[in-house]
Amino acid sequence: KAGVTQTPRYLIKTRGQQVTLSCSPISGHRSVSWYQQTPGQGLQFLFEYFSETQRNKGNFPGRFSGRQFSNSRSEMNVSTLELGDSALYLCASSLGTVLTDTQYFGPGTRLTVL
Amino acid sequence: AQKVTQAQTEISVVEKEDVTLDCVYETRDTTYYLFWYKQPPSGELVFLIRRNSFDEQNEISGRYSWNFQKSTSSFNFTITASQVVDSAVYFCALSEGPGTASKLTFGTGTRLQVTL
């Protein structure tokens, strides 16, 4: 089975711009979660989508948004980029319906904001 | 609020040594799940093990073993006979609430350096 894929792997943007990151889950997985990883704050949960609906949300400003498509692929959007948004953005997929579910992570998208 | 503490920031060992990574967690949930993930330099988080709160049986899987103790809220991970390929950052994580483990709270990670 193919793993979780994320595109692009690297991005460089400037302050004020917006960016869209994409995540394709493992086949059969219906839940996609997004995490931000920075040296200062570590790994932080952004949000989770299941069956095209946001099911969980972390403590991030409204500039961070996402969506999920009918094929379970997910996109994350960050508007009005700030320097502090520079991070590794990790996507994880899981079945989403099993009590003892496990999240499997993609390779991440490294975003640099200049 | 849930919290995961990995007090060891960095550990250096020589190949073939055993190494234990510590993890202490806090949660008010009665049902929860604990995980260990490995992050090599490539950046991808690799799932290693999962343990349910209602199952304190400790297990060994190859060179990996873990010690889960609810009484001390600890979930320690041991690598036996470490290898250079084990060099990575290791994260302990806790799922929030019963049901699916879709929202993980991570510790700050322990960087393991295995040298020849």
CB pairs under 8 A between A and B: 69
* Cβ contact, residue pair B47, A105, below 8 Å: yes
* Residue pLDDT, tens place only, A66-104: 999 999 999 999 999 999 999 999 999 998 876 667 889
Closest chain A C-alpha to B3 CA, distance in angstroms: 12
* More confident position, B17 or B43: B17
Q: Which of A102, A104, A109, A110 to mutate to test the interface with B (most CBs of B within 10 A)?
A: A102
Task: Report pLDDT digits (tens) over A1-30.
Answer: 689 999 999 999 999 999 999 999 999 999
CB B37 within 8 A of CB A87: no
- What pLDDT sits at residue B42? 87
Cβ neighbourhood burial of B39 (10 Å; 0-12, 13-18, 19+): buried
pLDDT at B30: 82
User: B57: buried, middle or exposed (CB in 10 Å: 19+, 13-18, 0-12)?
Assistant: exposed
Q: Is residue B19 classed as helix, strand or coil in its secondary structure?
A: strand
pLDDT recorded at residue B73: 94
* pLDDT at position B60 over 70: yes
Asked if A102 and B104 come within 8 Å (Cβ–Cβ), the reply is: no
